[in-house]
Amino acid sequence: MKKSRKIKSVFLNFIVWTAAAFICLLLAGMILCILARGFPNISLDFLTNKPSLLHHTVGILPNLLNTLYIILMTLVIVLPLGVGAAVYLSEYAKNKKAVRIIELAAETLSGIPSIIYGLVGMLIFVQFCSLQTSLLAGALTLVIMTLPTIIRTTQESLKTVPESYREGAFGLGAGKWHAIRTVVLPSAIDGIVTGCILAVGRIVGESAALMYTAGMANEILTPKEALSAGGAGSTLTVSMYFYTKERVDIDTAFAIAAILLILTLLLNIAAKIAAKLLKKGKGK
């Protein structure tokens, strides 16, 4: 082999390894910076208080609760819709064109940036449906945003349910809905769970879509208030933006960033474990 070719090959190897090392170092650096600056500010008080200028407390309890409320509300609405759509696409729809149009719509939805969801959510839910700035309006906006994720993961796992399961159910005299409910959907549970985890990840990380729909308030809401029109509140991510940009309270922002990072990490691990466990269950 010519020497120049050898050098070139070594060089190519080198840049490929460098790129991978760069990514890993970058991520490690980011994690270290966030944790190093965030952890010292996390305390029990911080997690269980609400921010108050009067009492000089800084706390993120309202934001934690709001995040939880929004996750629950969004999932309760988006799961039936998304799973239903996936079932329609892979079990009912016979018209190829209809399937193509729905898939195209889902792809389009997943490409729309969150700031546009924020504006449209404000127009539709906050103003048109007169829910005012509220957690409910925020959750409904996120329903549109997370729908494609649920559809895609459910659909992928419905595709892997063997045709013989369905034939077996039909052979025993089950109707289509009966077969779906008792045989097909339980076998596709892995996709549904994965979809939920991905959707939760997206909800936790979302800010632009929530700023103008769910608002920026930092009050503790009861579940009833959270469900009613006008029950506004900021999630962790939105409040982090607020602390960074408006209050310039960088320490608090880093503390929230650390919590968000840990949540992201946990969700990532959960997604991997869920995929593994459920795949094993399927193999039986």
Partner 1 sequence: MQNNAVSAIHILEKPKKANPAAEISEKLMHIIFGVCGFIAVAFVLVITVFLVISGAPAINEIGITNFLFGTEWAPTNSDPKFGILPFVLSSVCATTGAVIIGVPIGILCAAFLAKFSGKRISAAVSGAVSLMAGIPSVVYGLLGMIYVVPAVREIFGLPDGANLFSAIIVLAIMILPSVISVSETALRAVPREYEEASLALGATHAETVFKVSIPAAKSGITASVVLGVGRAVGEAMAVIMVAGNVANMPGIFKSVRLLTTAVVSEMSYSSGLHREALFSIALVLLIFILAINLVLNLIVKRDKK
Residue with token string 């064109």: 97
Residue whose CB is less far from partner 1, 225 or 275: 275
What's the closest the beta carbon of residue 224 comes to partner 1, in angstroms? 28
Nearest C-alpha neighbor of 206 from the set 138, 255, 270, 119:
138
Are the CB atoms for 274 and 193 separated by under 8 Å? yes
Give me 54's structure tokens: 């009067």
Are the CB atoms for 99 and 85 separated by under 8 Å? no
Angle at Cα 71 formed by Cα 241 and Cα 52, nearest 5°? Answer: 45
d(CA 50, CA 89): 45
Query: How would you classify residue 215: left for phi > 0, otherwise alpha for psi between -120 and 50, otherwise beta?
Result: left
Residue whose CB is less far from partner 1, 10 or 54: 10
Query: How would you classify residue 2: left for phi > 0, otherwise alpha for psi between -120 and 50, otherwise beta?
Result: beta
Residue whose CB is less far from partner 1, 73 or 255: 255
Residue whose CB is less far from partner 1, 141 or 187: 141
Residue whose CB is less far from partner 1, 18 or 43: 18
d(CA 136, CA 225): 10
Alpha-carbon dihedral of residues 46, 47, 50, 54, nearest 10 degrees? Answer: -20
What's the closest the beta carbon of residue 223 comes to partner 1, in angstroms? 25
Are the CB atoms for 271 and 149 separated by under 8 Å? no
Give me 249's structure tokens: 């309270």
What's the closest the beta carbon of residue 150 comes to partner 1, in angstroms? 10
What's the closest the beta carbon of residue 197 comes to partner 1, in angstroms? 10
Residue with token string 């080198």: 14
What's the closest the beta carbon of residue 10 comes to partner 1, in angstroms? 8
Residue whose CB is less far from partner 1, 106 or 217: 106
Residue whose CB is less far from partner 1, 22 or 160: 22
Are the CB atoms for 133 and 214 separated by under 8 Å? yes
What's the closest the beta carbon of residue 268 comes to partner 1, in angstroms? 5
